[in-house]
Amino acid sequence: MSQSSSPPSPLPTHDRPDTGQSVEDATAQIGALYDAHCHIVDDAPEQYPLVDELQTRRLCLMGTRPRDWPAVRRLAQQYPHKIQPAFGLHPWYAEQDASPPAPRSGESGLWWLPMLRAYLADCPEAIVGEIGLDKVARDKETGERYDQTRQQEAFAAQFELAAELARPVSIHCVQHQGALVDYLLERARHATRWPTHIMLHSYTGSADTVKRLLRLETQLARASPQHAAEDRVCRVPRFYFSISAVINGRCRRKTQLWLREVPMERLLLESDIHEVGQVDALMEQVCQLVSELASTSLTIEQVKARTWQNAQTFFGPSTATCHRHKGLPG
């Protein structure tokens, strides 16, 4: 969907999802919606059964801190046909969770990292998220902005874990796109492995940042060794950009500008909501938003079909499987 006067360089052919369908042909998936980022674990437990009644076919449920992870895992076990689990430490909690609930000698500010690794090992289809950087959010109790050093330390550790395990990541980035791009460019100078896919959720950055990230992907593809596809290490990540009505609906003009720079096969939809009962309505609203703002002529059904295919590529088509590991809570 790159329709600007100076479109980004074409993405590497081998990194495009091999769907065999154009937007026009994608109507075979009419009605299928994939919520790429939500927080319904925060809803009242008595609301959880409503998951089975949702018209939205699949949901990626974010775990944002260690105390959330057991409930995310339980919901993925209970509704494997509906819920795709994600485990991570949100930047808002990087400082609050810097110390374990019951400190033991020698534990550092990343005491939760081995636990995160265990949850990801227990759920082979789980992604890493929600992780990220936030320059403006403040602690509700103190009024202070969240500590940047803690955020960066937590983000880098989780990003590296996702690269090691070859998992996708869902990234929260608020007014810190420059720092994120700098981190990725510096990593590109020496890293030999990457997360398989990188999603910027409820993206609110600039169109220029979109172009820089897609250009980085192309550069990594060109530098990737010929044998990269033969091993299990991801050497070239795919960048995806997700849109929500609750966030992007408040900045329509800015959203329209970056949306024009995103290839249609790299767009995802999300509700970014905490209440189960609001998921369907918000997913319909974001489809309408994309249909209105996209520079190409897209019907709502085409938006649904294309983004469903994109989510299948990002998350994988299988249902989530979380084992009942005795060593993990929940």
Residue 18, annotated as binding a ligand: no
CB burial of residue 116 (10 Å; 0-12, 13-18, 19+): buried
Non-local (6+) Cβ contacts of 198 within 8 A are 168, 169, 171, 213, 237, 238, 239, 240
Residue 323, annotated as binding a ligand: no
162-190 exposure pattern, b = at least 16 Cβ within 10 A, e = fewer: bbebebbbbbbbbebbebbbebbeeeeee
Please state whether beta strands 197-200 and 238-244 pair in parallel, antiparallel, or not at all (unpaired). parallel
Residue 201, annotated as binding a ligand: yes
- Residue 86: name the closest of 151, 145, 121, 130 by CA: 130
Q: Which helix (H) or strand (E) holds 207?
A: helix 207-223
Alpha-helical runs (H) found in 123-174: 148-165
Are 320 and 80 spatial neighbours (Cβ–Cβ below 8 Å)? Answer: yes
Residue 122, annotated as binding a ligand: no
Residue 274, annotated as binding a ligand: no
Residue 272, annotated as binding a ligand: yes
> In a 3-state reduction of DSSP, which class is residue 81?
coil
Structure-token pair, residue 219 = 């550069």
Q: How far apart are the C-alpha atoms of 280 and 56, rounded to whole Å? A: 6
Binding-site sequence positions for a divalent metal cation:
37, 39, 130, 172, 201, 272
Binding-site sequence positions:
37, 39, 130, 172, 201, 272
